[in-house]
Amino acid sequence: MAQSEPPSSADAPELPARLQQLLAARAATLDEHRAVAVQRQHDRGRWTARERIAALVDPDSFVEYGQLAQPKTRALGDGPADGLLMGVGMVDGAPVCVFTYDYTVFGGSQSPRNHRKMDRMLALAERNRWPVVCWSEGGGARANELDYDGGMVTTFVQFARMSGLVPIICLLSGPSFAGQANIAGCADVVIATRTSTLGLSGPPLVLSATGANVTPEDIGPMDLHERIGTVDLLVDDEAELLATARRYLGYFRGATAPVDAPGDADALRRIVPENPRRAYDVRKIVSAIADAGSVLELRATWGRCLSTSLVRIEGRPLGIIANNPMFGAGAIDRDGADKFSRFVELCNAYDLPLLFLCDTPGFMIGRGAEETALVRHSARTLMALGNADVPLLTVILRKAYGLGYYVMGCDCFEPVLIVGWPTAEFGGMGLEGAVNIIYRDELAAAPDEPARKELRAQLTDELKERNTGLAYARGFALDDIIDPAETRAILGRTLAALPAPPARTTRKHPIDPW
């Protein structure tokens, strides 16, 4: 399986004929012996399959499987590794199952034989609990090898069965359609270059089915997939693609040495405005409490009422779900609910604690919200969080209203820590709306509109005073109200006190593709 090189000495005896034949066959699959194909791939602005894997894995750690595989239909001619390069290597010292379709071999198409290869690799990954990193580049099934006389392949069902068992990362740096797109859809996280494309049906199928002559960019450009949440992270080039994949893997390998926060903790005291109508970017808080350089935000431009990030605090990995008042005042809409639910499943599957940074007026309201089936989508947040067993930590930054607060780590989920900032305020709904309902008769009896407005403001202030974080802490409805500047230190100490998660031999649950 490892690469073999003939003796370099000119005086070495001649190698046996069959060994020479083997070495020649293996050498023919390497980039240095495929200059035309390599140049074509470089002209497309993309790395070759072997360049990708060599850049990802640690030096001299890769063991290749199936290097000598050829297409089942021999009339097709040579197809090095049958268009699928795969094996096991180390990434930052930890084992990873890695594979990539080879676009220089029949456009990276899927064949009965390279499906068998992948089935073999995925079985080993499942048995040995190896994370999977794959480049899914190609256009689906090989048109002239569609005869699956041995039965249907198990590739896609194996991906489904591995979901939640080991981290699965799909990398996109070219066109990914049909079967390759299905692989991307099954992955925990999809990281893509901005010039890659993705779609369940590629141009040839669209042409044959509809007569429309379209390009990959017409069907599935990355700006589309970024906007609708199909991809988790967009990067500029293949080098950044690999760096991001390595970084993502690191969150699932336990604690590292503590790293300082990036800025002055005192700044946290002034980020949240006391005026509840003023917005702010919650990601500034995420960055301020996390270790420097440790924040990896997923799906940043989709479901923007929430920010979901993998981070480290004093070296310990965790996930953060934060309401973002910059979008819809932090009210959770359909996309936000789906983003929330999947992130909870991701963290719970791999035993990452969850931190909630709460500032929400609740779920989105009105006919428009209901037309998105928000009743069902909001229930997904309850199902995901109610069935999670990882430690939860909650910091109430400002508004904690209604069902939005309920799912943002309220006390009914038994968080190991639930604290608020001085700006925290509580209510079953927005307090001004509550005043309109509770004191409807009193307001209606006001002599005129200025008097009614003054009375409403007075009653709202009184209701707010009874529902501040300080009032709740005095009634021990919270563990404490804390100085925002102490947030990182308190979270760090709490995380340090948590027991290690129990060793697992099976998965908890799959991760919803959406």
Six-digit token pair at 365?
């309201």
Q: Identify the pLDDT of residue 126.
A: 95
DSSP state at residue 4: -
Q: Identify the pLDDT of residue 143.
A: 80
Q: Identify the pLDDT of residue 19.
A: 95
Six-digit token pair at 133?
């990193």
Residue type for 333, please? D
Residues in the chain, overall count: 514
Q: What is the residue-level pLDDT of the chain in tens, covering all 514 positions?
A: 445 555 555 566 899 999 999 999 999 999 999 999 999 999 999 999 999 999 999 999 999 999 999 998 878 888 999 999 999 999 999 999 999 999 999 999 999 889 999 999 999 999 999 999 999 999 888 888 877 666 677 899 999 999 999 999 999 999 999 999 999 999 999 999 999 999 999 888 898 889 999 999 999 999 999 999 999 999 999 999 999 999 999 999 999 988 887 778 899 999 999 888 899 999 999 999 999 999 999 999 999 999 999 999 999 999 999 999 999 999 999 999 999 999 999 999 999 999 999 999 999 999 999 999 999 999 999 999 999 999 999 999 999 998 999 999 999 999 999 999 999 988 755 666 666 777 777 777 778 888 888 777 777 776 676 778 888 888 898 999 999 999 999 999 999 999 999 888 889 999 999 8
Six-digit token pair at 189?
């996280």
β-pairing verdict for 189-193 and 132-135: unpaired
Q: Identify the pLDDT of residue 348.
A: 98
Q: Identify the pLDDT of residue 134.
A: 96
| Distance, first Cα to last Cα, the chain | 37
The count of other CB atoms within 10 Å of the CB of residue 294 is 22
- Reference 114, options 134, 84, 147, 76; nearest CA is 84
**How many Å apart are CA 297 and CA 182, to the nearest integer?**
24
Domain 18-250: CATH superfamily, name plus number: 2-enoyl-CoA Hydratase; Chain A, domain 1 (3.90.226.10)
Q: Identify the pLDDT of residue 268.
A: 95
Write down the domain spans for the chain. Answer: 18-250, 265-424+468-497
**How many Å apart are CA 388 and CA 356, to the nearest integer?**
14
Give strand pairing partners of 358: 396
Same CATH fold, 265-424+468-497 and 18-250?
yes
Q: Identify the pLDDT of residue 164.
A: 96
Please, are residues 176 and 142 in contact by the beta-carbon 8 Å criterion?
no
DSSP assignment of 181-233, as one string? HHHHHHSSEEEEETT-EEESS-HHHHHHHH-----HHHH-BHHHHHHHTS-SE
Tell me, yes or no, if the pTM score tops 0.85.
yes
Domain 265-424+468-497 has CATH 3.40.50.1820: no
Q: Identify the pLDDT of residue 12.
A: 66
Q: How far is CA 48 from the centre of its chain?
A: 25
